[in-house]
Chains A and B, each alone.
Chain A
Amino acid sequence: MQKTDELLDVAEMVAPPAVHPPERRRRTLRRPPPAKAVVIALGLAAAVLVLSGTPWLNGPAVAAWRTVCLAITVQALPFLLLGTALSGAINAFVPADLFTKVLPKRAALAVPVAGIAGVVLPGCECASVPVANSLIRRGVTPAAAFAFLLSAPAINPIVLTATAVAFPGSPAMVLARLLASLATAAAMGWLWLWLGREEWLRPVVRHTGHRSGHSRFTEFRLGFQHDFLHAGGFLVLGAMAAATFNVTVPRSVLDTFSGSPWLSVLFLAALAVVLAVCSEADAFVAASLTGFSPTARLAFMVVGPMVDLKLIALQAGTFGRAFAVRFSTATTVVAVAASVLIGGALL
């Protein structure tokens, strides 16, 4: 357990820079002279070129870190674009009252409906954060939006198919993943209704939807661009943190924990958080962890798409730090509990 604790400690040390206090945002409104941005960009480029000559950046460990970090970013960019484009489209083209009409009036009922609606968003977890945010902006109750946020990356057809391929001959694993993910998403939605407080969410000035007199397409384009740049920055930060663990944690640590059934569940849940493997690939990673019990591997697949370093960074950027810390912690606990209960019954 010692090692897991260390991992989590470091995770927290890495995560905080992810968070930008709101005051900073306001300062960005002040305009520096236009030449400044170009100078900074050229300076960055020059720094990269100068550093590329130094042996330090080309040492094998640093090179592997750069490769993994870039790989996570490149892999996630198309899905982040999809998510932010959807979010921009929801803002500009969808009538304000559509979601409130479609979803059940009672928030407690809207939560499971929104959770099941997660099936329709194909892709990785990076796409779901901006979409959930745009849902809240359009008047969907946060509890329902969070259920959608959690369930979408875990239960869409692409991910379930990948799970079936990774675990041939055990359809129970696919079913268990579907049920445990849905249960966690719904439980977190209800938990937010019960205990959640609006002030944890960053009181952001938000899109107002379509305003008359403005071109819908321009609104879409600018909203899309803004959201992409914003989320993209946090994605890079999360990728850096995840790459650090990916390169520094030796896989031999795995064998230490595979023996104990309880510790192995907690350990694989923690591993899912720090490795930040994309939800379309995590089933294959889980399948390769053959020393672990099916329940522990289920926990890896349930926690991974809901909580990981790059998601925490994205959520902190989108909803605020106070929210991201509480929400991620609670989600991890609920997801582990759901995995143990459903895994124990089905696997």
Chain B
Amino acid sequence: MKRTAQVLLLVLTGLGLLHTALFTDLYLRYVKEGLRPLLIVSGVLLLLLGLTHAALDRGSGDEEGHDHDHGHDHSTAPRIAWLLFLPALSLLFYAPPALGAYTAAHAGSETVKEQKRFAALPATSPLPMTLTDFTTRVQQDKELAIRGRSVEMTGFVTPGRTGGGWDLTRIIFTCCAADAQTVKVHMYGTPAPPANTWLAVTGTWHTQGALGTRTAAAALDVHGTRRIAQPVNAFTDDLPLTPS
């Protein structure tokens, strides 16, 4: 790989990282929020590396390449480095979309963590809840506090596989999109909206199985839905935004 190409590659990768993490929020499609400072530092570092290489090593590369055939030649980079152009250009010009219904439909629903003690539910109605909290309450709360309560949850639409019903879904990152985990709550009572639509849904627990045990279905009888904008950081399981 030539010096010009190396400069181009370093600068493009640096700009790609800065574009995704500093100038836009695109990085949230791929990694967790906490990685932002590291991505910005890396972007700046790569940019500086590329520019320094362009400014300081003018000409020297061509000479060194010939007389050091046994030495470690820094003026060339191996061909494999060409592959780095793919993520660099992809970040700059052609950012892949956020994970959505396709990934959710192929993921099994993750089992929720065990929780022994549950605080009393606030009296607000409808009660804003996360999909994870709702599932935990329905399947593990021995007090059955969720019975008859109207709850509000947000997520995007994943069409049901068998045609019947649909799932309100959240995809959660721990570190990056490679470790994405899916939480789904099944929705009854309304026809499925288009896949990937973001909704706030109110409703009550759909009676199926024994409440407070593992047999209880994570499902909701829908009373009302409202379209919402996709949250900036979509890959968490946050509480529904308070209605404005």
A residues with CB within 8 A of B: 20, 24-25, 28-29, 31-32, 34, 36-38, 40-41, 44-45, 48-49, 52, 60-61, 63-64, 66-75, 77-78, 81, 205-208, 218, 221-226, 228-230, 232-234, 236-237, 242-243, 246-247, 250-252, 254-255, 275-278, 280-282, 284-285, 287-288, 290-291, 317
Contact = CB atoms under 8 A, between A and B. Distances in A.
B155 to A, nearest CB: 18
Interface stretch (B66-74, B118-126, B141-149, B186-194): B66-74
Interface of B: 1-6, 8-10, 13, 17, 20, 27, 29-31, 35, 38-39, 41-42, 45-46, 49, 52-53, 56-57, 62, 65, 69-87, 89-91, 93-103, 106-108, 110-111, 113, 174-179, 181
A230 B65 contact: no
A67 B177 contact: yes
Contacts, number: 221
A225 B74 contact: yes
B174 A284 contact: yes
Contact of A288 (B2, B30, B110, B176): B110
A290 B57 CA distance: 55
A305 B70 CA distance: 34
A234 B80 contact: yes
Given A24-B79, A70-B30, A73-B87, A48 B177 contact: no
Nearest to A51: B94
A276 B178 CA distance: 8
B132 to A, nearest CB: 11
A48 B30 contact: no
Contacts of A61: 102
Contacts of B179: 275, 277-278, 281-282, 284-285
Mostly, the A contact residues are: helix
Contacts of A78: 35, 38-39, 41-42
Interface on chain B toward A: helix, strand, loop, or mixed SS?
helix
Contacts of B31: 71, 74-75
Given A38-B4, A75-B175, 6 more contacts: A44-B86, A221-B49, A229-B6, A234-B80, A280-B175, A282-B179
Nearest to A283: B174
Nearest to A288: B110
A20 B8 contact: no
Contacts of B110: 288
Contact of A275 (B9, B30, B102, B178): B178
